[in-house]
Chains A and B, each alone.
Chain A
Amino acid sequence: DAKTTQPPSMDCAEGRAANLPCNHSTISGNEYVYWYRQIHSQGPQYIIHGLKNNETNEMASLIITEDRKSSTLILPHATLRDTAVYYCIVGVQGAQKLVFGQGTRLTINP
């Protein structure tokens, strides 16, 4: 079973920041938080991952709470192409056996 809880859907205006929350209250000390997204009828795309420190790359920022029980993925300037299902996954680095939950369907509106 997935170890994360995400809202089923969210809307965001184009050009604004999209903040996607994820709860992972049972995360273990050696588990990372991974974010992937899936655009319709394509394979999932890796976005970012982290352990306990906040992370940023060219796609997004990941904010992990101090107790690591929740995190937020931030797309700083959402575009229409960011419309997708976003999956938050916890797992041990190196195992790569990713268990997907239901994800959040993010819709970017013009």
Chain B
Amino acid sequence: GAVVSQHPSRVICKSGTSVKIECRSLDFQATTMFWYRQFPKQSLMLMATSNEGSKATYEQGVEKDKFLINHASLTLSTLTVTSAHPEDSSFYICSAALVRWPKNTEAFFGQGTRLTVV
């Protein structure tokens, strides 16, 4: 299967600082990537859709000025958590869609980034 890589896998930062998380599709191009957040013992919650070359689309309740998304190329999307606070501590996961014509379109997920804000 296709590979989606996230970096870093784990990060600890101080309250008030910003953290950037990278999501790369290693062996395919993805015009669309997705960012999710997962709190302990909960399901994944979609935060935003990242579109290459255009602005991201955020889900209701997600602050776009706090969670900055940049999708500058067909293989890279970044999520920056600005002015992080302890309540932003979570598991952040990205996905990228691989289209295999004519039938299969699969979403491949990164391994996730565990953010801890202290």
Q: Which residues of A are at the interface with B, using a C-beta cutoff of 8 A?
A: 2, 36, 38, 41-46, 49, 87, 93-94, 96-103
Is the pair A44, B46 in contact by a Cβ cutoff of 8 Å?
Answer: no
Is the pair A99, B46 in contact by a Cβ cutoff of 8 Å?
Answer: yes
CB of A61, distance to nearest CB on chain B (Å): 17
Instruction: Specify the chain B residue showing the minimal Cβ separation from A51.
Output: B103
Instruction: Specify the chain B residue showing the minimal Cβ separation from A48.
Output: B106
Is the pair B43, A96 in contact by a Cβ cutoff of 8 Å?
Answer: no
Q: Which of B71-79, B80-88, B92-100 contacts A (4 or more CB under 8 A)?
A: B92-100
Q: Which residues of B contact A38 (CB under 8 A)?
A: 44
Q: Which residues of A contact B108 (CB under 8 A)?
A: 46
CB of B74, distance to nearest CB on chain A (Å): 15
Q: Is B91 part of the binding interface, using a Cβ–Cβ cutoff of 8 Å?
A: yes
CB of A27, distance to nearest CB on chain B (Å): 17
Is the pair A98, B111 in contact by a Cβ cutoff of 8 Å?
Answer: no
Q: What separation, in Å, do the CA atoms of A87 and B42 have in the docked complex? A: 12
Is the pair B109, A96 in contact by a Cβ cutoff of 8 Å?
Answer: no
Q: Which residues of B contact A99 (CB under 8 A)?
A: 46
Is the pair B109, A44 in contact by a Cβ cutoff of 8 Å?
Answer: yes
Is the pair B43, A93 in contact by a Cβ cutoff of 8 Å?
Answer: no
- Which of A46, A87, A101, A103 has a CB less than 8 Å from the CB of B1? A46
Is the pair B105, A100 in contact by a Cβ cutoff of 8 Å?
Answer: no
- Which of A41, A43, A45, A87 has a CB less than 8 Å from the CB of B43? A87
With A41-B91, A46-B1, A103-B43: A96-B111 Cβ-Cβ less than 8 Å: no
